[in-house]
Each structure stands twice: as C-alpha cells, then as structure tokens.
C-alpha cells in the first residue's frame, strides 16, 4: 500500500470520528437547552423538541455513515489497484530474476569452455616449445653434419682452400649470369610491351593528323551534250559511228532517255578516260565519223599519257620527293586511273606516304626515305596486267631496275609479307598501307559480305540471355540491343554490352569501331479512379 492510499484511509477514519464527536457535542447542547427550557415550556413542547433533535441527529448520522462508506469503497478500489500493480511488479521481478539466472548459467558455461581452451592452448604452447627445442637441436646436428661433410669432401677432393675459393667464385659467376639472363629477358619483355604502347600512340597520332579527300570511283562516266540531236550524230547512219567508237576505244556507249547526256561504261579507267576525252572533242568539233573518231582517239591517248606524267610529278611534289627516274614518274601517274576495291591507287599511295612520314618523324627516322618507300610500294599495280606475278615483287623489280635505294626495294617487296621484313622502313610502309586501306570509307565491300556482317552482328547479340530485340544501325557501325527489364538490371546491362563487344572483336573483321548500346526500359503504371 502506497502513501496516498494510506492518507485516504486515515482521512476517512478521521471524518467518521469527527462525525461521532459532532453528534456527541450536539446531543450535549440539546440536553442543556432542554434543561434551560424545561422550566419555561411545557413537557409536551420539550418532548417535541427532543423528538425533532433526535430525528436531526439520526439524519446527520446517516449522511456521515453514507460518506464514510463511499470513502471506504474508493479506498478499497485503490487498494486493489495497488495490490494488482504490486503483483505485476513482482511478476516482472521474478521474470528478470529468471533471465539473470539463465545468463549466469551461460556465463558459467562460457567460462568453463574458456578455461578448457586456455588449458589446451597452454598444452599447445608447451608442445611448440618442445618442438622448437627439438628443431634447434636438429639444426645444431645439421650444422655439425654439414661441417663434417665439407671436411670429408675437402679430404676426398683434395682441394686446397684457394681452389675451393676459385670454384665457389665460378659457381657464383654462373649464378649471376643466370640471374642476369632472367633479368634481361624481363627487360626485353617490358620493352616489347612499351613498344606496343608506343607504336599504337604513333599510329594514332598519324591517323589523327592525316587529312585526305574522299573520292568514290565508278565504272561509268557521264558526258554532257549540248542537245539531244547530238545523240543521233553519235549513233550515225545505221549505227556506224557508235560501232566504230566502241571498237576503237573498247568502251560501251549507253544512250538512253537521259536528256542531254550519254554514259561511257568500262571497267578500265584509263580506256574510259581516253574515250571520254575523245567523245568530248568530237562533240565540240561536230564532225563525227569513223576516220575522225580514230584520229581523235590517238590524240586523246597521247593527252592521257601526258596527264599521267603530270599526275606523277604532282604526287612527287606533294610528298617532297626528287631524283626519280622519268619512267617511274610515268608509272606513278598511271596509277591515277587505277583502283583497288574502289579506292584510287594514286590517292592511296599519297595517303600512305604522308602516314609513313609522320610515323618516321615520331621515331626520329629519315622522313623522306619513309615517304619514298610508301609512295613506291604499289608501283607494280601499273604493270600487273602486263607482267605475270605479284604486284609487290613486280614493283620491287621495277624499282631496282630504275636505280631505287635497296631499302625502298625491300619495302616494296615486303609490304605483303611475301618477303620477311628486315628494316624499320618496311614495317612503316606496311603499317601505312594497312591504315590507308582500312580507314572507314576508303574501300568498298561487297553487298554479300556487308549483309553477312550485319546478320552476324545481330546473331551475336540475340544469342545473349535477356535480349528482346537487336537492331544493326548506321551501316553496321552501331548495334542497338533492347533487353527485358525484368531479366536484365542496370549492372547486367553494362556487362552484356562488354561481352557483346568482346565477341564481336574476336569473331568479325571490320574497319574502325562498332558501338554497342544496350537499352533497358523501365515503366511505372498507375490508375486514377
């Protein structure tokens, strides 16, 4: 029972006592009044007053008893609450006491385990100490045995201390040579790795600095005419003019509905250029007949030969090379009308010469010699149709015949690995040739190879798990991969892009680079009601 409850109980008791005292005092007062009025009033009145006083006393007593009962009931209710709270507190204290006892039991068990482990560790420590002592004793025995072995070996071998010393020095030298060889191998490997990095840097700088014009060769030339009536004059009576033109020039003349234009078709660009100049002069002159066609054809042929010489001289001036045999100049100029996979060969030689010169400058080599090697490396293509054999070997023979440097000859014959590379200029020529031929847009590829490469790109991407759709874009320069967002998360999307790029690098051959873009779409949908 707490203090508040006790105070309430004491107050109730005091209230009852005061009520009783008040009743007693009231009775005494009434008694006195009756005695004082006994003489003045009659017995009947005194009796009435006494009855009234008694009724009043009884009413007061009932009210006091009712108040006391109410206070006692409230005190009992509060006492019950206090007893219930005390019971709950005792229950909690009992539960905590049980928890503490369980913890004490666990701590005791843990202390017992620690005691056992400490004893085990002490035993192991003693064992280790014994083992160390035994090992020290064995080491001493081994030292004694080693000394005895050395003494016995010296006695058996009959070596003097100087001889033993010389043999020891020789053994140390052999060991040092072996370690030096290993170190040299490591240095060589590191040098090769650094050389690869340096080579990539030099090639990259050369490619970035190269600025060449982009041209597209075709097998058809268009000649504009002053009017459509000129088509009839080109055809001639019963087609004799056009038949004579095609027979003399070896070029097909296509006359269709195209207004004021005719087409000249031939796979040989030199013949096509001669035919174009011939027909252009005939149209300007206006006289078109078989004899005139043959006459103008020979003039145009001589003019094309002059243009070839001029083109060769311009190429030499552009790369800064002099002292070239005139016949070589003409051969270089003839490459203006040669193509390789749609790439103009003379333009290819100029690109390769600039690239080789820039890479030679980065390496501190002779820039002029590097340009000369690269400019001459495809000279054999001007004679490939006339002489049997590889254009590299033919070009080397031509360069040697016209007095070119042996480094130039070697670079020409080795740029397709038909001869083992022996000079750094041959390596630079080969690298420049590969860069110029493989840059994007330099050469045309067949439609079939192009379609197969696109199909293989899409197959590689579609074979991966979680891929929904694949699109090859920008002529195969980019692959757009759509993935399922429920299967592939953001991190897996990055890994998927890297895996596809690695597989494309391993399986396909392509110029430039291919971008792999993985698209993961996330959607959130809610309904407004």
* Length, in residues, of the chain: 529
Residues in a beta bridge with 340: 343
Structure tokens at 145: 């045995």
Q: Are 283 and 230 in contact (CB under 8 A)?
A: yes
Name the pairing type of β-strands 252-254 and 261-265.
Answer: antiparallel
pLDDT at 438: 66
**Residues 361-406: tens digit of each pLDDT:** 888 888 889 899 988 888 888 875 556 677 888 888 888 888 888 9
Distance, first Cα to last Cα, the chain: 61
d(C-alpha 273, C-alpha 249), whole Å: 10
Q: Are 65 and 12 in contact (CB under 8 A)?
A: no
pLDDT at 229: 78
Radius of gyration of the chain (CA): 58
pLDDT at 216: 46
Count of CA atoms in the C-beta half-sphere (13 A) of 508? 25
pLDDT at 156: 62
d(C-alpha 328, C-alpha 316), whole Å: 11
Q: Is the pTM of this model over 0.95?
A: no
pLDDT at 423: 87
Count of CA atoms in the C-beta half-sphere (13 A) of 182? 6
Residues in a beta bridge with 222: 263
Place of tokens 């320069």: 477
Q: Are 61 and 23 in contact (CB under 8 A)?
A: yes
254: CB partners within 8 A, 6+ apart: 220, 262, 263, 264, 265
Pick the closest to residue 30 from 8, 9, 58 (CA basis): 58
Ranges in the chain, pLDDT < 70: 1-2, 4, 22, 24, 26, 29-31, 33-34, 36-49, 52-53, 56-57, 152-161, 164, 195-221, 341-342, 384-388, 438-450, 474-475, 510-512, 523-525, 529
pLDDT at 515: 85
pLDDT at 121: 86
d(C-alpha 94, C-alpha 87), whole Å: 10
Phi/psi class of residue 237: alpha, beta or left (left: φ > 0; alpha: ψ in -120 to 50)? beta
pLDDT at 114: 87
Structure tokens at 255: 């006359």
CA dihedral 115, 117, 118, 120 (to 10 degrees): 130
Q: Are 299 and 285 in contact (CB under 8 A)?
A: no
């Amino acid at each position: 029972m707490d203090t508040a409850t006790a105070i309430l109980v004491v107050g109730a008791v005091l209230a009852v006592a005061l009520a009783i005292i008040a009743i007693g005092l009231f009775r005494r007062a009434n008694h006195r009044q009756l005695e004082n009025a006994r003489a003045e009033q009659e017995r009947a009145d005194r009796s009435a007053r006494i009855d009234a006083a008694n009724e009043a006393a009884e009413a007061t007593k009932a009210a006091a008893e009712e108040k006391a009962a109410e206070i006692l009931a409230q005190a009992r209710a509060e006492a019950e609450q206090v007893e219930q709270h005390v019971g709950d507190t005792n229950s909690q204290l009992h539960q905590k006491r049980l928890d503490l006892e369980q913890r004490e039991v666990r701590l005791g068990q843990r202390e017992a385990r620690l005691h056992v482990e400490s004893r085990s560790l002490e035993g192991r420590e003693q064992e280790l100490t014994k083992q160390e002592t035994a090992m020290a004793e064995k080491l001493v025995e081994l030292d004694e045995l080693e000394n005895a072995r050395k003494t016995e070996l010296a006695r058996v071998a009959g070596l003097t201390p100087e001889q033993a010393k010389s043999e020891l020095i020789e053994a140390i030298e052999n060991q040092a040579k072996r370690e030096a060889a290993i170190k040299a191998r490591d240095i060589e490997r590191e040098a090769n790795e650094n050389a690869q990095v340096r080579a990539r840097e030099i090639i990259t700088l050369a490619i970035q600095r190269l600025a060449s014009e982009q041209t597209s060769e075709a097998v058809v030339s268009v000649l504009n005419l002053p009017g459509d009536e000129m088509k009839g004059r080109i055809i001639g009576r019963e087609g004799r003019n056009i038949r004579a033109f095609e027979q003399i020039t070896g070029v097909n003349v296509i006359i269709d509905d195209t207004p004021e234009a005719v087409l000249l078709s031939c796979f040989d660009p030199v013949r096509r250029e001669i035919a174009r100049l011939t027909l252009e002069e005939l149209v300007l002159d206006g006289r078109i007949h078989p004899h005139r066609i043959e006459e103008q054809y020979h003039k145009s042929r001589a003019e094309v030969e002059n243009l070839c010489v001029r083109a060769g001289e311009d190429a030499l001036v552009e790369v800064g090379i002099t002292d070239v045999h005139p016949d070589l100049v003409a051969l270089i100029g003839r490459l203006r009308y040669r193509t390789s996979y749609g790439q103009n060969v003379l333009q290819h030689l100029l690109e390769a010469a600039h690239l080789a010169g820039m890479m030679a400058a980065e390496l501190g080599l002779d820039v002029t010699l590097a340009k000369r090697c690269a400019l001459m490396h495809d000279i054999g293509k001007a004679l490939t149709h006339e002489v049997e054999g590889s254009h590299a070997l033919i070009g080397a023979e031509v360069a040697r015949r016209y007095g070119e440097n042996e480094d130039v000859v070697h670079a020409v014959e080795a740029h397709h690995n038909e001869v083992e590379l022996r000079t750094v200029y041959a390596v630079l020529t080969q690298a420049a040739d590969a860069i110029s031929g493989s840059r994007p847009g330099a050469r045309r590829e067949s439609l079939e190879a192009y379609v197969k490469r696109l199909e293989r790109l899409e197959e590689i991407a579609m074979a991966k798990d979680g891929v929904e759709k694949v699109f090859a874009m920008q002529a195969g320069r980019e692959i757009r991969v759509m993935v399922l967002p429920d299967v592939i998360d953001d991190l897996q999307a990055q890994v998927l892009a890297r895996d596809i790029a690695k597989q494309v690098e391993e399986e396909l051959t392509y110029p430039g680079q291919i971008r792999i873009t993985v698209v993961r779409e996330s959607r959130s949908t809610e309904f407004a009601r």
